[in-house]
Amino acid sequence: MVHSRIDDKFLEALAAACGGRISLSEDDRRTHGSGEAYHAPMPPDVVAFPSSTDEVSRIAALCHDAGVPIIAFGAGTSLEGNVAAPFGGVCLDLRGMDAIVEIAAADLDCMVQAGVTRLHLNKMLRDTGLFFPIDPGADATIGGMAATRASGTNAVRYGTMRDAVLGLTVVLVDGSIICTGTRTRKSSAGYDLTRLFVGSEGTLGIITEVRLRLHGIPETVRVARSHFETLADAVSTVTQIMQMGIPVARVELADAAQMRAINAYSRSAYPERDTLFFECHGAEGAVAEQIALVEMLVRTHGGLDWTIALNAEDRSRLWQARHDALYASTAQRPGSKGYITDVCVPVSRLGDCIELAREMIAKASFPATIVGHVGDGNFHVICPIDPSSETERKEAHTIADALARQAIAVGGTCTGEHGIGLGKLDYMTIEHGQAGVDAMWLIKRAFDPRGLLNPGKVLPKPSTESPSS
Amino acid sequence: MVHSRIDDKFLEALAAACGGRISLSEDDRRTHGSGEAYHAPMPPDVVAFPSSTDEVSRIAALCHDAGVPIIAFGAGTSLEGNVAAPFGGVCLDLRGMDAIVEIAAADLDCMVQAGVTRLHLNKMLRDTGLFFPIDPGADATIGGMAATRASGTNAVRYGTMRDAVLGLTVVLVDGSIICTGTRTRKSSAGYDLTRLFVGSEGTLGIITEVRLRLHGIPETVRVARSHFETLADAVSTVTQIMQMGIPVARVELADAAQMRAINAYSRSAYPERDTLFFECHGAEGAVAEQIALVEMLVRTHGGLDWTIALNAEDRSRLWQARHDALYASTAQRPGSKGYITDVCVPVSRLGDCIELAREMIAKASFPATIVGHVGDGNFHVICPIDPSSETERKEAHTIADALARQAIAVGGTCTGEHGIGLGKLDYMTIEHGQAGVDAMWLIKRAFDPRGLLNPGKVLPKPSTESPSS
């Protein structure tokens, strides 16, 4: 759709604000209106490619004056329609902002521009002995990860983006610039603006720089896997590991169907059974203790074929296979797109919730798989659906809806790490209550009274002030 | 001061809202208008003792209708005038709300009412094998700790209240009730209301219940101490421990003057030298590795008299002595009150900042001491001042001011754990910039447009809508 306030004069000013780097091409607009999942693209009217916080500020001020929506875009790997442009407007592609501003190795932190990807950051850190642990699988941008409160496989030990972000540079809707947080781990100085913007999906401001906490590369890393007679046995193992507080770095689950899909996609030969992957980090003795405890629990729960990856190459092949789960799952059906659930539940309820998932996908008409960061109680059902089939979309939705409602009923959340975007709007009121959603609207209206920042996302029932063309 | 809108009719309705449990006595009002530090008491007009979230809601609605300020009160252990009532109003003493609502041992969490103190909680957890690690020294209430984003000695390993709080029940200014967060460690479902209320010091809502993350009591706990020729050597040791990422649970510093004060107060006989205290938690082998590394670094930096506490009694005596630092320091001068700094800085700058503190207190007219959670870069100068002496107050302020400004200049914060209250208002704009403070005002005005919630605290330059009598 073309936003009525976007005219030649606006486009001229927009181009002037970012060194002429804008695009109106259909191809650019389409790719900037979609993520990696099943949602139909909703293209913005124009894509701008700013290279600095100042340029973002100028564009925001321009859009603010003209009443035009503005949507931040990173690597395009989001899964819930988080970057769709249902009201048109300007998409801000931040990938040009890819500078590592500072690496403060002595303080275990760094400052990067929002467009730096996590793999690039870790490459740049290689000589420092430090690494950035948050690993959502996709090579997302740090800005996008902050905006969706991403996490992934390492969160069991290192936390999520909520914990990793020390401070932010944020451009507010009128173009003003704020710097949040401090370089210290602790502060009691006022409201936690950093945590407010982390996870706000570009609806309160545009994140342009991120200060991140880093960690020393562990002296010892040990990776192991085992498979189980039943999914329930695998889940019980995880539950007990977490309840005993064993400080593992990652505990990942892939069900038998997922292992089959992985083998086909990655040309690997893992046993096609319900499998757990473990990784432990730390000093040598500490890791040996952890792995011994994990092995004991695995064997107690009937784990078979306990295998420790012998070298770095084995380890990275194994994690690559795990990370390719989504692509492996959709590769089962060429042309399909993933409809992916993302519930996160208290570990004591993980068994029930995964059992419900198992029952539902057994009846599904597509080859759905289960994979997850079960150490955090977070798991995904990947439904490879034909994006043009309304029937399949509905069928996947039925599974996702049942899981989300069950997760919320047991004290969990409809989304552990993918965010609300457009896809999870219906669950906000169920999860937070009307009073909770109303409190979020107080914040949204305070920061974006005219509803120009990524409109239609995160909060259900757009306020009456939301933009219309 | 008596708030003009508090009349007999209001008091009658207030009493009716909380089962008659209100007090107008001068003594009650005075004790509820002050914390533990040097600030002169500013009593509220009336103290109410609600026993449930519903009663708090009713009182909030009443104050909202009448335009009367409302100030939440826990154990009264705050240090920055956080509970003072400069505009009068109703103090809500929440200590009657001391129920442990739920202990979910299998999920390592619990739900408590705001008035539960941390020591009581740990007593109630004793049979579960779990504990609540956040330890600010004083036996503060969980609600108060959440409201000031407290931390203390264990934060190096377990984080602060920001990390410990999973969710909250909050009464908003008009009496509406919201429940924030989930029981899971991860969620990407909307704005992080939990982290917004943690550290907001009762200025955005009244915290009435807190869901907390718990931890397994570690299999092995090892405590050690050592003293150093110079303060700089002690600090270098800490800096290196943190830079190496050794996962110690606590690293505490007490300078020679503090050790003297502790010995006098606790009738102990520790060497009266610049001293570090360490504690390591974990499995036996992991702790042995950590302690060995710490010992090696201590010896490298000239640490003397390395001593491992042999049993639980020795350990608790040692930490009790450390926790009594404030009382020990003021006990040096009967009748004195503590004027306490609270900067937190990146560890690489800890040496410079402690050196500035050392230089300044060497010239002070009172026997100031240095103590701190140096593993986090957080340390305190305790100035035992005569509260009636304007000269001493100014002298202490000069020290505190220099340290706060230096901390902010090196990327740190004016307050690591005590909060802003009234005492640190001047540093908010220096630390966050005018744009950052303006952003916080957007939130404050959205949640409390008439400025009734703990007015005058956290944000400098009260908005024009703030209450007047």
Same domain, A352 and A447: yes
Is residue A157 in a domain? yes
Mean pLDDT score, B200-229: 97
Kindly list the residues from chain B whose CB atom is less than 8 angstroms away from the CB atom of residue A144.
none
Same domain, B313 and B374: no
Q: What is the mean pLDDT of chain B?
A: 95
Q: Give the pLDDT score at A184.
A: 95
For the stretch B304-363, pLDDT in tens is: 999 999 888 989 888 988 888 999 999 999 999 999 999 999 999 999 999 999 999 999
| B310–chain A nearest CA distance, Å | 22
Q: Is A419 exposed, middle or buried (0-12, 13-18, 19+ CB in 10 A)?
A: buried
- Boundary of a domain, candidates A41, A59, A93: A93
**Residue in B108, B196, B413 nearest the CB of A187:** B413
Distance in angstroms (rounded) separating the CA atoms of residues A228 and A298 = 9
Is residue A1 in a domain? no
**Residue in A187, A198, A412 nearest the CB of B184:** A412
**Residue in A150, A183, A198 nearest the CB of B412:** A183
Q: Please give the structure tokens belonging to residue A41.
A: 């693209």
Same domain, A222 and A212: no
Q: Give the pLDDT score at A461.
A: 76
**Closest chain B residue to A459 measured between Cα atoms?**
B190
Closest among B291, B305, B292, B295 to B229, alpha carbons compared: B305
Closest among A136, A356, A374 to A250, alpha carbons compared: A374
**Single-letter code of the amino acid located at B119:** L
- Boundary of a domain, candidates B156, B189, B216: B216
Kindly list the residues from chain A whose CB atom is less than 8 angstroms away from the CB atom of residue B442.
446-447
Distances from the Cα of B130 to the Cα of B85, B99, B112, B215, angstroms: 38, 18, 15, 5
Q: Which helix (H) or strand (E) holds B221?
A: strand B220-228
The position carrying tokens 């009730």 is: B177
Same domain, A445 and A338: yes
Distances from the Cα of A284 to the Cα of A219, A280, A310, B297, angstroms: 7, 10, 15, 18
Q: Please give the structure tokens belonging to residue B448.
A: 């409390």
Length of chain A as a residue count:
469
Same domain, B280 and B173: no
pLDDT at B460 > cutoff 90? yes
Q: How many helices (H) and strands (E) does chain A have?
A: 16, 18
For the stretch B30-50, pLDDT in tens is: 999 999 888 889 999 999 999
Kindly list the residues from chain B whose CB atom is less than 8 angstroms away from the CB atom of residue A61.
none
Q: Give the pLDDT score at B37.
A: 87
pLDDT at A10 > cutoff 70? yes
Residue A130's contacts (CB-CB under 8 Å, 6 or more residues apart) are A103, A105, A108, A214, A215, A216, A217
Q: Is B324 exposed, middle or buried (0-12, 13-18, 19+ CB in 10 A)?
A: middle
| A24–chain B nearest CA distance, Å | 31
Q: Give the pLDDT score at B231.
A: 95
Kindly list the residues from chain B whose CB atom is less than 8 angstroms away from the CB atom of residue A178.
432-433, 435-436, 439
For the stretch B282-296, pLDDT in tens is: 999 999 999 999 999
Closest among A139, A129, A81 to A108, alpha carbons compared: A129
User: Cβ A288–B288 below 8 Å, yes or no?
Assistant: no
Q: Please give the structure tokens belonging to residue B23.
A: 């007090």
What is the pLDDT confidence band of residue A38, given thresholds at 50, 70 and 90?
A: confident
Output the CA torsion B60→B62→B68→B69 (10° steps): -10
User: Cβ A243–B106 below 8 Å, yes or no?
Assistant: yes
Residue of B134, B183, B186, B424 to mutate when probing chain A, most A C-beta within 10 A: B186
Residues pairing with A379 in the sheet: A372
pLDDT at A323 > cutoff 90? no
Q: Based on the structure, what is the number of domains in chain B?
A: 4
Residue of B131, B169, B188 to mutate when probing chain A, most A C-beta within 10 A: B188
- Domain hosting A170: range is 100-216
User: Cβ B346–A184 below 8 Å, yes or no?
Assistant: yes
Distance in angstroms (rounded) separating the CA atoms of residues B411 and B328 = 31
Kindly list the residues from chain A whose CB atom is less than 8 angstroms away from the CB atom of residue B180.
432, 436
**Residue in A413, A439, A442 nearest the CB of B184:** A413
User: Cβ B285–A290 below 8 Å, yes or no?
Assistant: no
Give the CATH number, domain containing residue B15: 3.30.43.10
What is the pLDDT confidence band of residue B463, given thresholds at 50, 70 and 90?
A: very low
**Residue in A109, A179, A192 nearest the CB of B196:** A192
Residues pairing with A179 in the sheet: A169
Distance in angstroms (rounded) separating the CA atoms of residues A243 and A111 = 35
Q: How far is CA B278 from the centre of its chain?
A: 21
| B51–chain A nearest CA distance, Å | 22
Kindly list the residues from chain A whose CB atom is less than 8 angstroms away from the CB atom of residue B446.
442-443, 445-446
Is residue A226 in a domain? yes
Same domain, A396 and A422: yes
The position carrying tokens 């109680």 is: A377
User: Cβ B458–A191 below 8 Å, yes or no?
Assistant: yes
Mean pLDDT score, B451-468: 75
DSSP string over A50-98? --SHHHHHHHHHHHHHHT--EEEESSS--SSSTT--TT--EEEE-TT--
Is residue A463 in a domain? no
The position carrying tokens 């990947």 is: A382
Give the CATH number, domain containing residue A121: 3.30.465.10
Distance in angstroms (rounded) separating the CA atoms of residues A460 and A224 = 43
| A175–chain B nearest CA distance, Å | 11
State the DSSP code for B274: E
Q: Say if strands B90-93 and B70-73 run parallel, antiparallel, or are unpaired.
A: parallel
User: Cβ A196–B195 below 8 Å, yes or no?
Assistant: yes
Kindly list the residues from chain A whose CB atom is less than 8 angstroms away from the CB atom of residue B419.
188
Work out the number of other CB atoms within 10 angstroms of the CB of residue A131: 18
| B186–chain A nearest CA distance, Å | 5
- Boundary of a domain, candidates B216, B235, B253: B216
Q: Terminus-to-terminus CA distance in chain A, angstroms?
A: 9
Is residue A211 in a domain? yes
Distance in angstroms (rounded) separating the CA atoms of residues A55 and A59 = 6
User: Cβ A188–B288 below 8 Å, yes or no?
Assistant: no
Q: Please give the structure tokens belonging to residue A235.
A: 């889940």
Give the CATH number, domain containing residue B388: 3.30.70.2740
Residue A349's contacts (CB-CB under 8 Å, 6 or more residues apart) are A377, A410, A411, A412
Q: Is B313 exposed, middle or buried (0-12, 13-18, 19+ CB in 10 A)?
A: exposed
Kindly list the residues from chain A whose CB atom is less than 8 angstroms away from the CB atom of residue B348.
104, 106-107
For the stretch A238-282, pLDDT in tens is: 999 998 989 999 999 999 999 999 999 999 999 999 999 999 999
Closest among B144, B147, B293 to B224, alpha carbons compared: B293
Same domain, A153 and A227: no
Count Cβ–Cβ pairs < 8 Å, chain A vs chain B: 286
Kindly list the residues from chain A whose CB atom is less than 8 angstroms away from the CB atom of residue B439.
172, 178, 193, 447
Q: Give the pLDDT score at B323.
A: 87
What is the pLDDT confidence band of residue B2, given thresholds at 50, 70 and 90?
A: low
Same domain, A118 and A129: yes
Kindly list the residues from chain B whose CB atom is less than 8 angstroms away from the CB atom of residue A435.
172, 176-178
Distance in angstroms (rounded) separating the CA atoms of residues B408 and A287 = 38
User: Cβ A348–B198 below 8 Å, yes or no?
Assistant: no
pLDDT at A450 > cutoff 80? yes
User: Cβ B182–A413 below 8 Å, yes or no?
Assistant: yes
Is residue A116 in a domain? yes
What is the pLDDT confidence band of residue A467, given thresholds at 50, 70 and 90?
A: very low
Give the CATH number, domain containing residue A277: 3.30.70.2190
**Residue in A286, A432, A459 nearest the CB of B285:** A286
Kindly list the residues from chain A whose CB atom is less than 8 angstroms away from the CB atom of residue B104.
346, 348
Residue of A109, A161, A186 to mutate when probing chain B, most B C-beta within 10 A: A186
Distance in angstroms (rounded) separating the CA atoms of residues A207 and A143 = 6
Distance in angstroms (rounded) separating the CA atoms of residues B379 and B371 = 6
Mean pLDDT score, B408-432: 97
User: Cβ A285–B290 below 8 Å, yes or no?
Assistant: no
Same domain, B317 and B397: no
Same domain, B210 and B228: no
Q: Which helix (H) or strand (E) holds B238?
A: helix B231-243
Q: Are A256 and A283 in contact (CB under 8 A)?
A: no
pLDDT at A196 > cutoff 50? yes
Is residue B459 in a domain? no
User: Cβ B177–A415 below 8 Å, yes or no?
Assistant: no
Distance in angstroms (rounded) separating the CA atoms of residues A412 and A410 = 6
Kindly list the residues from chain A whose CB atom is less than 8 angstroms away from the CB atom of residue B108.
242-243, 245
Same domain, A163 and A129: yes
Q: Collapsing DSSP states into helix, strand and coil, what is residue B369?
A: strand
User: Cβ A286–B283 below 8 Å, yes or no?
Assistant: yes
Residue B359's contacts (CB-CB under 8 Å, 6 or more residues apart) are none
**Residue in A185, A193, A436 nearest the CB of B180:** A436
Mean pLDDT score, B431-447: 97
Q: What percent of chain B has pLDDT over 90?
A: 91
**Closest chain B residue to A185 measured between Cα atoms?**
B376
Task: List % helix, strand, coil for chain A (3-state, nearest 5).
Answer: 40, 20, 40
Length of chain B as a residue count:
469
User: Cβ B216–A192 below 8 Å, yes or no?
Assistant: no
Is residue A376 in a domain? yes
Closest among B378, B371, B389, B384 to B339, alpha carbons compared: B384
Q: Which helix (H) or strand (E) holds A27?
A: helix A26-31
**Residue in A193, A244, A377 nearest the CB of B439:** A193
Closest among A235, A319, A320 to A279, alpha carbons compared: A319
User: Cβ B344–A182 below 8 Å, yes or no?
Assistant: yes
Mean pLDDT score, B9-25: 98
User: Cβ B184–A416 below 8 Å, yes or no?
Assistant: yes
Q: Are B44 and B89 in contact (CB under 8 A)?
A: yes
Same domain, A51 and A132: no
Q: Give the pLDDT score at B5.
A: 86
